[in-house]
Structure 1
């Protein structure tokens, strides 16, 4: 594909322009079709530090046992729950996280989560075991319909390629760049699309030899 825009020395591409370039190159990225919010959160917890193929096996077990109903998950014994999610690894820690989220979701505080403002929702999610900054923001974006840019490894690599000063980790980068990106006014649906496209582009960049190689091919970075 012929690049239609490039990062010039000292200039960053707006995130909206990155969305346009990624959409032109990749089309519409597939989004995991979770049937319920709780199913999506189970995926967020289980995918930590493992491959998605392992997560799918764990999710299949949970689906058969609970139908992704929080009440049903809480009825499982510890031995049953860890056995179902064993393919995803770290099963004791992840079982604790799943139980905590299920109990919170059913509590008055969890039921009130959709009414919280963005900062209060993030704070509430971060109080749950196993939910860190990235997981909290993915849940806010994908489950609670909040406008969030996800500063995960794929996102940081793209932003660096596009000329942004990226921090050493998720939170450092978020604190530095979130307000700037938010000011561009991307809608919730645009941010959902962008999150999926960034993941797909990150995979292709890795296969191509890195963003220094792949970026210029799609117009992100200098040739």
Structure 2
């Protein structure tokens, strides 16, 4: 069956239930986690997140008060610790200038918000879209590796990198922030179950579907 984006989300939601993504106790924890998860797996990112939690309670002002050497030691399990430490300082400092008032920051920058996020050290396209969706409640499709793999299985071609999908996939206007957050979580949870080994997708509830993009 050929599905639209909305129909794909609805089918995944019916089959899998709510994803509960992003699993975190605060938006600040999501910001930190979104940086730590870059180019690593969740196990390594979670180790660094727990070290930061033990040392700072994940309070941005306490993280910003650390020396760079202290921050390096805490972030190290996530890999690329120098770059990620610099990114944490850059993003948290930028948010601090807005007093962590996310609706006000969104209103201030308007349509320029993604551009402003991309200008921060360590914020690539995927991280920017994660922050738009989960921090600023701007419904955005996150074109990560799981999404590109799923869409390829569903017959979409030419998905070679992040931009190749993000430029083609815009969420419908009636997609709410909650739906966008859930959709990303469902895709990632689906991928963890059905993408390894490769032939396991054929056993999934989407195996007979294609996607109209």
Bin of the TM-score, shorter chain as denominator length? 0.7 to 0.9
Q: What's the secondary structure of 1:182's corresponding residue? A: coil
Measured on the aligned residues, the alpha-carbon RMSD in Å equals: 2.2
**What's the TM-score once normalised by structure 2's chain length?**
0.88
Show the counterpart of 1:148.
140
What are the equivalent positions in structure 2 for 1:58-73 lying under 5 Å apart? 58-73=48-63
Q: Is the CA contact 1:163–1:221 (under 8 Å) kept in the aligned structure 2?
A: no
What are the equivalent positions in structure 2 for 1:171-190 lying under 5 Å apart? 171-178=163-170, 181-183=171-173, 185-190=174-179
Q: Is the CA contact 2:52–2:74 (under 8 Å) kept in the aligned structure 1?
A: yes
Q: Is the CA contact 1:156–1:166 (under 8 Å) kept in the aligned structure 2?
A: no
> Structure 1 residue aligned with 2:72, among 66, 82, 96?
82
Show the counterpart of 1:41.
31
When structure 1 is superposed on structure 2, of 167-176 and 126-135 the one drifting more is 167-176
* Pairs aligned (count): 208
Which blocks of at least 5 consecutive residues in structure 2 are unaligned?
none
Q: What's the secondary structure of 2:11's corresponding residue? A: helix
1:113 aligns with 2:102: no
Counterpart-to-counterpart distance in 2, 1:193 and 1:168: 24
1:123 aligns with 2:115: yes
**What's the TM-score once normalised by structure 1's chain length?**
0.84
From the superposition, tell whether residues 177 and 165 of structure 1 become closer, same or farther in structure 2 (CA, over 3 Å): farther
From the superposition, tell whether residues 110 and 120 of structure 1 become closer, same or farther in structure 2 (CA, over 3 Å): farther
Give the CA deviation at 1:96.
Answer: 0.3
User: What is the CA deviation profile of residues 53-82 of structure 1, one whole-angstrom value per residue up to 9, with x for unaligned ones?
Assistant: 111111111112222222111110111111
Which blocks of at least 5 consecutive residues in structure 1 are unaligned?
1-5, 8-12
Counterpart-to-counterpart distance in 2, 1:17 and 1:215: 19
> Structure 2 residue aligned with 1:204, among 163, 184, 193?
193
From the superposition, tell whether residues 122 and 222 of structure 1 become closer, same or farther in structure 2 (CA, over 3 Å): closer
Give the CA deviation at 1:33.
Answer: 3.1
User: What is the CA deviation profile of residues 154-198 of structure 1, one whole-angstrom value per residue up to 9, with x for unaligned ones?
Assistant: 1112222233344321112211222xx335x22211111111100
Q: What's the secondary structure of 1:218's corresponding residue? A: coil
Q: What's the secondary structure of 1:176's corresponding residue? A: coil
Instruction: Flag the structure with more relative contact order, 1 or 2, with Cα contacts below 8 A and sequence separation at least 6.
Output: 1
Counterpart-to-counterpart distance in 2, 1:148 and 1:69: 27
What are the equivalent positions in structure 2 for 1:155-170 lying under 5 Å apart? 155-170=147-162
Give the CA deviation at 1:215.
Answer: 5.2
Give the CA deviation at 1:27.
Answer: 1.8
